[in-house]
Amino acid sequence: MSTKILCVDDDASILAAYQRNLRKQFPIDVALGGQEGLDAMANKGPYAVIVADMQMPGMNGVQFLTRAEEIAPDSVRIMLTGNADQKTAADAVNQGHVFRFLTKPCAPEELASMLSAALKQYRLVTAERELLEKTLSGSVKLLTDILSLTDPQSFGQAQALRDYMRTYVKSLNLKSSWEFELAAMLSPIGRVTIPPTVIYKAQSGLSLTGAEKDVLARVPEIGSDLLANIPRLETIARIIRYQNKHYDGSGGPMDPVAGEEIPVASRILKVLSDLLQLESKGTSRVAALEQMQKRTGWYDPRVLDSAFACFDVYLPTASEAKTPSRAIPLKELQVKHTLAHDLVTQDGILIVSAGTEISQMILGKIHNFAELNGVKEPIHVAA
């Protein structure tokens, strides 16, 4: 965690005074003016605290701190000025989002006390964010582990869908790519609530009752409801809710949302998941996309056109997708290994799909199956 402080002023003598009076207490960098301050952030950051003078030529303190917030939103910002009028203070708070506002001249003791308070605030902000990120990461890992245990086939499809999404967003330089990929990975999470017999019938192509069809149709909504209560996954939950919605508004969920009102990530998921489904049945990628073009009203035309533009070029073919592997006995299988082939029981029941990274939970499941039913060895993992 950074404890560095950046002081920005257009007066070199004031900057020298900062270094002389505060360097024994804090690690301090100085910058002569706003642009030099931005350069320091880019080349020497991150900074825990940024102190800026208000009256600077070219780029004043409010303008600088506004830019600084865009670059480093976690940095705590302090404004110093000799002009303490109400408008200056309001602009500093509303635009620069400053932590404290001090008038000049400011005694070294007062500034040091303020810097200590700002560092404490920075530690609180970053600790809270790190805790939230670790909680989120742990929650997502638990959810994917549960999906891999309860429905390995859907988990394998979700991994493939995530790879398709990664390629798509990279080729189009879309922002928030982590949300798109995470939505793809968690898109079938609602299936963990579906009885195994129904999932088996659906995957085996057996006839389903009307009630079973209704339950499967509601998987996106069920998954959305599961995720909606996890902090920072609210957007992911909405993407998943509308992953099967047709662009013309037909399909589930049954509400008036249609067209541009459907989240763009949901519209992309619809195209990619249908493409993946057709390819899994042996349809070539080009033929699958051409077939999808005939489904009037199903897809956002721009998303479908983009799929034509990027997937033939960037997505690997089946032969290209083969990765080097090595065969090992079960006793050598470890956490972090990635399966190169499906792992099945002696009776041919799928335990874990190819492409799955082994977690502690999955490893435990494999050993349980080995004791009860036996597993086919050797096990093929990525080299």
| DSSP strand pairing (343-344 vs 325-328) | unpaired
Identify the pLDDT of residue 318: 41
pLDDT(4) > 90? yes
Which domains, and CATH codes, for the chain? 5-127 (3.40.50.2300), 151-322 (1.10.3210.10), 323-383 (3.90.105.10)
- Residue 317 or 223, more confident: 223
- Distance between CA 222 and CA 199 in Å, rounded? 15
List pLDDT tens digits, range 42-92.
999 899 999 999 889 989 888 899 899 889 988 999 988 876 555 555 555
Structure tokens at 78: 């302090």
List pLDDT tens digits, range 147-201.
888 888 888 889 899 999 988 888 777 776 788 999 999 999 999 999 888 988 8
Percent of the chain with pLDDT over 70: 92
Identify the pLDDT of residue 222: 93
Instruction: Give the predicted TM-score (pTM) of the model.
Output: 0.60
Q: Is residue 341 a contact partner of residue 354, using CB atoms and an 8 Å limit?
A: yes
List pLDDT tens digits, range 190-237.
999 998 889 888 888 889 999 999 999 999 999 999 998 887 889 999
- Distance between CA 154 and CA 277 in Å, rounded? 11
| DSSP strand pairing (325-328 vs 379-382) | antiparallel
pLDDT(280) > 60? yes
Q: Given pLDDT bands bounded at 50, 70 and 90, which one contains residue 323?
A: low
pLDDT(317) > 50? no
